Amino acid sequence: MNKNLTLVCLIYLACLVWPTLSVAQQRPIPVVSPEILADNSVIFRLRAPNAKSVRLIGTWLKDLRNTVEVPRNDSTLFEVKVGPLPADMYEYRFIVDGIPLLDPSNNVVTRDGSIFENRLILPGAQTQLYDVQAVPHGTLSAVWYPSPTIGMDRRMEIYTPPGYEKSGKKYPVLYLFHGGGGDEEGWISRGRTNYILDNLIAAGKALPVIVVMTNGVPNVAAAPGERPAFAKATAGEPVGIQSMTTGKFETTLINDVIPYVEANYRVLADPAHRAIAGLSMGGYHTQQITNANPGTFGYIGVMSMGVFDGPMARNYNKEEHIKQLQALKQANPKLYWIACGKDDFLYEGVTRLRALYDQIGLSYTYRESEGGHTWVNWRLYLAELAPMLFR
């Protein structure tokens, strides 16, 4: 009996907590963090006996450089109360003596590129849209496809709506792009694309749609943990966000991704059922692709990105830009949606984009939200854009 009890305890320790054993010994009192109060205030706690300084960064902050000081509450515990905050989904993490630290008490971690942060979800109408509800769920697949344009197989995430497998029907497609530093998992881990679509479709607010989430960095195959471990970028190739203006992603989207999706999924393969949208760098990609391919996409969404004509925009040519926009105006997409937060640092570029479109007479719908360049806005934008598609 004792031997068995020991065995049980060992399994419990080994499977659940072995790597934190030495840590656990120093943390006799369990820490609850984040604790959500009735008024949507939130208490964050961190047990860090030796820390000098604990700070908190979270996507509810207007300026993410203004981190929150977490004062020492007693000899081992740091604690701060934030809010009340609007009911929403946020990301946060601690900074302990200058080092970013995930909240050890929160086992929900989200990732955008190399940025790991805990999820905070405050109950309310908006978060119901982002949360997993008791509704039919679509399937999310990580798919490898050949990219002859780039010269390697690459990875994308594809959401197929509930019922896709058995319906025999064809569906419209939304091509959805992440921002700089991100990858094909950003719209999943942070963006909650699959759950937002599940919930909107179940409520009859969005039509069933296939969502294709690509990796927008052409010199890598996939997200960090999913690419060959010892692959090196070709010498001289621009890496990361430096690759943004090489035009390679735009080419592979048109030449490789769309043909693959239309050949391998039951897709309504016409402009009236083809939508494209992206955030930040993905908003740049969206502009580049739709400018160069007027008439290919019936629905266009540009999130948190305006005119990009700086020195990094190697081939930027204002005359060509205007010419393309005139052709796009002729093609008359059913929706050209531009969204930006009031505090977005790219606000001025978005204003210039709208001025240019006004000047040309290219129709667009403009959505200005609160807040800045964060996933709080991008989730909101997807939740607002999806219901407008394919109507």
Where in 30-69 is the site for a copy of itself (CB under 8 A)? 46-53, 55, 57, 64-65, 67
State the nearest-atom distance from the C-beta of 154 to a copy of itself, in Å: 10
Q: Which one of 99, 148, 235, 361 is in contact with a copy of itself (CB under 8 A)? A: 99
Residue closer to a copy of itself by CB (options 55, 273) is: 55
Residue closer to a copy of itself by CB (options 67, 296) is: 67
Site for a copy of itself in 174-213 (CB under 8 A): 179-182, 189
What is the number of H-type helices and E-type strands within the chain?
A: 12, 17
> Pick from 98, 135, 96, 94: which is nearest to 116 by CA?
94
173, β-bridge pairs: 210, 274
CA distances from 153 to 200, 225, 320 (A): 33, 15, 32
Taking CB under 8 A as the rule, does residue 232 contact a copy of itself? no
Stretch of 79-87, 309-317, 330-338, 358-366 lying at the interface with a copy of itself (CB under 8 A): 309-317
What track of x and - describes contact with a copy of itself for positions 267 through 296 (by CB under 8 A)?
Answer: -------------xx---------------
The sign of the dihedral angle between the CA atoms of 98, 64, 278, 171 is positive
Residue closer to a copy of itself by CB (options 265, 297) is: 265
> Pick from 108, 115, 80: which is nearest to 374 by CA?
115
Residue closer to a copy of itself by CB (options 26, 332) is: 26
Residues 178 and 279: their CA atoms lie apart, in Å, by: 6
Residue closer to a copy of itself by CB (options 219, 293) is: 219
Burial class (CB in 10 A: 0-12, 13-18, 19+), 25: exposed
Q: Which one of 241, 269, 331, 360 is in contact with a copy of itself (CB under 8 A)? A: 241
Stretch of 209-217, 219-227, 321-329, 358-366 lying at the interface with a copy of itself (CB under 8 A): 219-227
Site for a copy of itself in 119-178 (CB under 8 A): 119, 121, 123, 127, 131-134, 136-137, 139-144, 152-153, 155, 165-166
Residue closer to a copy of itself by CB (options 109, 360) is: 109
Residue closer to a copy of itself by CB (options 28, 361) is: 28
The sign of the dihedral angle between the CA atoms of 373, 374, 380, 385 is positive
Taking CB under 8 A as the rule, does residue 71 contact a copy of itself? no
Q: What is the DSSP string of 334-372?
A: SEEEEEEETT-TTHHHHHHHHHHHHHHT---EEEEESS-
Residues 258 and 201: their CA atoms lie apart, in Å, by: 23
What phi, psi does 276 have (nearest 5°)? -145, 135
How many residues in the shown chain lie near a copy of itself by CB under 8 A?
104
* Length of the chain in terms of residues written: 391
Residue closer to a copy of itself by CB (options 8, 272) is: 8
Taking CB under 8 A as the rule, does residue 108 contact a copy of itself? yes
Residue closer to a copy of itself by CB (options 137, 274) is: 137
Q: Residue 171, SS3?
A: strand
Amino acid identity of residue 114, one-letter, is S
Site for a copy of itself in 340-369 (CB under 8 A): 345-346, 348-349
Residue with tokens 């009890």: 5
State the nearest-atom distance from the C-beta of 374 to a copy of itself, in Å: 9
